[in-house]
Structure 1
Amino acid sequence: MKHTREFIEKLVRNELHELPEAIQTETIKKLMKYNNPRLSTEKIRKVLKRIKTEYEESQVEAGDAVGVIAAQSLGEPSTQMILRTFHYAGVSFGHTTGGLQRVQEIINATWNIKYPRMRIVLDGSRNPDTVLKEIQEVRGIKLAQYNQDEGVIYTEGSNLREILKIKGVNTKRTTTNNIREIEQILGIEAARQSIIEQLYDIYQSEGLNVDIRHIILIADMMTKDGEVKSLSRIGVMKNKSSVIMRMAFEETMSILFHAAIQGMVDELRGVNENIVAGIPINQGTGNRDIKLRFRY
C-alpha cells in the first residue's frame, strides 16, 4: 500500500525540521515520485536520516576561508580553458559563447559583450515562422535560427526588452547571455541566477567539474549590494573601507597617497590588512572566538 502525501509530508517535517525548507520540499517531491508498496516507513526513516547526516557533514566550519577556496577552485580549471580556446578558431555559433573570455566578461560585469546571444522559447500560440520573421526585424538581432526539435529560436545579437513584447514568445523561459540587460529588465535576482547558470554551464561544457557553491559565492559577492558589480577595483573593491585592502589589490600608490592626505585609519579587520601588518588573520586557526555553542 502506498503512503499518502500527508503521511510523507508529516514524516519529513518531523525528521528534517532543522533543515532548510527547500531541502524538505525537494525530499517530499522525491519520496512521492518513488512512492510504492515496497517503500516501508522504516526505509523512509533511513533515507531521511542519511539526508540529515549528509547535510550536517557538508556544512562549512566557522572560520573557513571560503573566498580563497572558491578562487582556487575556479581559477585552476580556468587555466585549462586557455589551452582549449585555440581549438575553436573559426567557430561562429558554438564555443564563441563560452571559454575563458566569456568567464572574464561575466566576472567583469561587461556592458558590451563580444558575442550577445538569446535563447527564445516559443509558447506554441503562433506559427514559428511568423514569430521568427518578427524577431529578425528587431533592432540588435543580427541572425535568428529556429530549432524545430526544441521549439526554440537562437539568435546572434540581443534585445530582451523588445523580444518579450512579441506575441508567441514564452516570456518566463526566454533569456539572454547579457547579464546587464537581465539586470535592467528582470531585476537583480534574475541577474544573480543568470551569473550562476552561465558560469556553471561554461565550466561543464569544457568538461571541468566545479562545485556550484563556489560559483554561488561569486554571484552573491557581485550582487549583494542590489546591483551587479564587477570583481575589480571599480566594482566590489571600490566601496571597501580598508585602505590596505584596496592598496593591495590595484593602484597601490594612488590609493595610499589619497589615504595619507585624508588621514584615513585602517582598523585591520580583513585578511589582506592583517597579512601586511604581520598579524594572525581572523580565519582558520586564527579565529579563536566562540561563534556558536553546539548542543550534543
Structure 2
Amino acid sequence: MHTKEFIEKLVRNELHELPEVIQTETIEKLMKYNNPKLSTEKIRKALKRIKTEYEESRVEAGDAVGVVAAQSLGEPSTQMILRTFHYAGVSFGHTTGGLQRVQEIINATWNIKYPRMRIVLDGSRNPDVVLKEIQEVRGIKLAQYNQDKRVIYTEGSNLREVLKIEGVDAKRTTTNNIREIEQILGIEAARQSIIEQLYDIYQSEGLNVDIRHIILIADMMTKDGEVKSLSRIGVMKNKSSVIMRMAFEETMSILFYAAIQGMVDELKGVNENIIAGIPINQGTGNRDIRLRFRY
C-alpha cells in the first residue's frame, strides 16, 4: 500500500496542469481504493488517462457552445415532461421541481408559484423560539423544523426579514426565489443560485446534465449585472443585431423600428448570417486569413 504523501506527490506532479478540484478528488479516490494490488505503474496509467480525458473534454475555439447547451438541456427537458405525469397527486417534494420550475428560472419570474426557503440554524438559540418567530414573518405560510439537520423548511419566502432573526445562519440560509436573492445578496449569489437550482432539478429527475451547460446559461442571464430572462424582453432585447431580434419574435415591429431609425446590421451572429446566406462565424467559419503584402 502507498502512503498518502506518496500518492499526493505523484498526483501533483502528473496533474499539475489540471484544476485543483480534480487533483484533490483524484487523491481521495486513489486513497479509497489503495491496496497492495495498486502498483505505482497502475496509478501512473490512471493519471495519464485522467489527463487525456480532461484535455479531450475541453472546448475548442469556435465551438457553438450555445447550441450544444440548448440541446443538452432541451432533450432531458422532454423526458421531464413525460415524468411529470407520474407525479400527479404527489405533494411538496415534486411540486417545487420539474419543467415548470425550470421555466420559472429561465424566464427569471418575479412571482414564482411555489416559493420555498431553507433556513439553517446556528444553534445559538432554542429552535422552537426561532421557529415561532419565522412563522410570524410576513410571506411565510408554513414552517417545519428538521431536528436532525437543524434546518427549517418553509412554504413562502421572505429572505430579508428571515436573515434579521437571531439564531439564523445567514451564510447558509437560502430561498428558491432568484429575484429575491439578487435584490438582497447581489448578482453573484443569484448566478450561483441559478446554477445550483437548475442542476438539482435535473439531478432529482435522474437526468445527468453537464454542469458547464448550466453555468453558460447562468452567465448569459447575469452578465449585464442583473438577472435577465432568456426571452425577447430579457437577453434578446439587448442584442445589437436587428435580424437576430427579428428571427426571434415580433418580426414586423422590430423591422419597422429598425427601418425608421436607420439601423445597420453588421452580420456578426449566427442567425443573421444564415438568413443572409453567409458562412457563420463558428466552427471552421470562425477563421480569418490575413496576408502580409510586401512591396
Cα displacement (A) at 1:94 = 1.9
Q: Does the aligned pair in 2 maintain the 1:106–1:195 contact within 8 Å?
A: yes
Structure 1 pair 123/31, CA: closer, same or farther in 2 (3 Å)? farther
Instruction: Please tell me whether the aligned partners of residues 62 and 291 of structure 1 are also in contact (alpha carbons under 8 angstroms).
Output: no
Shift of 1:36: 7.7
What displacement does 1:84 show?
3.1
The more displaced of 268-277 and 95-104 is 95-104
Cα offset, 1:127, TM superposition: 1.9
The answer to whether the 8 Å contact 1:221/1:236 transfers is: yes
Structure 2 CA distance, aligned partners of 1:291 and 1:151? Answer: 64
CA separation of 1:136/1:12 partners in 2, compared to 1, >3 Å: closer, same or farther? same
Mapped to 2, the partners of 1:69 and 1:154 lie a distance apart of: 36
- TM-score for the superposition, normalised by structure 2: 0.87
1: CA distance, partners of 2:214 / 2:153: 26
**Cα distance between partner residues in 2 of 1:290 and 1:137:** 67
Unaligned runs of 5+ in 1: none
Q: CA RMSD in A?
A: 4.2
2:76 corresponds in structure 1 to 77
Deviation at 1:11, TM superposition (A): 4.3
* SS of residue paired to 1:14: helix
TM-fit CA distance, 1:85: 2.9
The Cα shift of 1:142 comes to: 0.5
Instruction: Give the whole-Å Cα distance in 2 for the aligned partners of 1:245 and 1:222.
Output: 18
Structure 1 residues 198 and 279 mapped into 2: Cα distance closer, same or farther (>3 Å)? same
Q: Secondary structure at the match of 1:131?
A: helix
1:252 corresponds to which residue?
A: 251
Moved more, 135-144 or 35-44: 35-44
Counterparts of 1:76-95 in structure 2, within 5 Å, are 76-95=75-94
Q: 1:160/1:292 Cα in 2 relative to 1: closer, same or farther (>3 Å)?
A: farther
Question: For the Cα contact (< 8 Å) 1:120–1:170, is it kept in 2?
Answer: yes
| SS of residue paired to 1:237 | helix
Structure 1 residues 208 and 26, CA, compared in 2 at 3 Å: closer, same or farther?
Answer: closer
Q: Is 1:11 aligned with 2:10? A: yes
Report SS of the residue matched to 2:236. coil
What do the CA deviations read for 1:16-75 (whole angstroms, capped 9, x no partner)? 332234434544565567778886655544343222111101112222221111111211
User: What is the deviation of 1:10?
Assistant: 5.1
Cα shift readout 1:158-217 (whole Å, capped 9, x = no counterpart): 011111222222222211100111112222222111111111111122222222221111
Deviation at 1:268, TM superposition (A): 0.7
Where does structure 2 lack aligned partners over 5 or more consecutive residues?
Answer: none
Given the two structures, how large is their TM-score scaled by the length of structure 1?
A: 0.87
